[in-house]
Amino acid sequence: MGAIMVQGTTSSAGKSILCTALCRIFKQDGMKVYPFKSQNMSSKYHKTKDGKMIAIAQALQAWAAGLEPHENMNPILLVPNSDLSSRLIINGDDSGETTSADYFRNKAVLREMITERYKEIESLNELVIIEGAGSPAEINLNKDDIVNMGMAKIADAPVILVTDIDRGGSFAAVYGTVMLLEQEDRRRIKGIVFNKFRGDISLLEPGIDMLEKLIDIPVVGIIPYIDLNIEDEDTLTDKTKKCEDGSQTRDELEEELERLAEVVRANIDMDIIYKLAGV
């Protein structure tokens, strides 16, 4: 069984959308693929057919993989109430309000639950696409981490690091992220993906060459900016889409998922992705 993890230099870098694309690409290629995000923080959630709550991103990844959304795909969901507290959803069920401090104190117990859930998923699928959260370089949060490099260790998964070049500063974001990591974690990053690129790629190439020499990690994809009608979960997005008002049909969503997969497949080295995934 294989696994590959997508982490980002920032929130809204493109982790969710790249995981969604990979779920659809591997499904197109005939594989039994399963999305997984150990911990998500999102005000947007989806209720499964059994009434369980998971983040909307993992529901979209499930549909991309040809699956029904399930609580195992997102065992921990934090729905923010304020800057200091959230509703804590464990395995799809509302466990009440928690403060940031209380949540972090309970991470050791949560790690055991996540490990158990992941091992179960891994045994039943050919490939697990794992999504990180925020950035692995949030060094104040790395102790007892369960969603970025901590999750990569649990799954023993290689990591693809994605950055949003449309917002600027992506070379610095990639370099800074890699350099802030411990050596063991740094070695897990096997490829860099630039997301939302616009313009003449020949002007980008000299920077890519310099970056690869600095960090000794290859750039495996440059994904062009694509205007998708797929729901975002991050608060950094500011565009209202048709899919967010409930009027998008499943057929329309399927068309968007197919279009996303086509663009990503054409602009990422899938041979490397397959090799990293171990399948």
Q: What tens digit of pLDDT does each residue of 17-57 get?
A: 999 999 999 999 999 999 999 999 998 899 999 999 999 99
Instruction: Say whether pLDDT at 276 is over 60.
Output: yes
Instruction: Say whether pLDDT at 233 is over 90.
Output: no
* pLDDT on residue 244: 60
Confidence bin at 238 (pLDDT 50/70/90): low
Confidence bin at 142 (pLDDT 50/70/90): confident
Q: Are 15 and 131 in contact (CB under 8 A)?
A: yes
Straight-line distance from the first to the last Cα atom of the chain, in angstroms, rounded to the nearest whole number: 7
Residue 275's φ and ψ, nearest 5 degrees, are -65, -45
What is the radius of gyration, based on Cα positions, of the chain?
18
Q: Distance between CA atoms of 18 and 107, rounded to whole angstroms?
A: 27
What DSSP line would sit under 84-129, residue for residue? Answer: SEEEEEETTEEEEEEEHHHHHHTHHHHHHHHHHHHHHHHHH-SEEE
Length of the chain: 279
* pLDDT on residue 106: 86
- Tell me whether residue 228 is exposed, middle or buried, using C-beta atoms within 10 angstroms of its C-beta: 0 to 12, 13 to 18, 19 or more: middle
What separation in angstroms does the CA of 6 have from each of 23, 95, 128? 12, 28, 11
What DSSP line would sit under 195-254, residue for residue? Answer: EEE-S-HHHHHHHHHHHHHHH---EEEEEEP----S---STT-----GGGGT---HHHHH
Task: Give per-residue pLDDT as tens, 188-221.
Answer: 999 999 999 999 999 999 999 999 999 999 999 9
Task: Give the residue, 244 or 222, on which the prediction is more confident.
Answer: 222
Q: Is 176 helix (H, G, I), strand (E, B) or coil?
A: helix
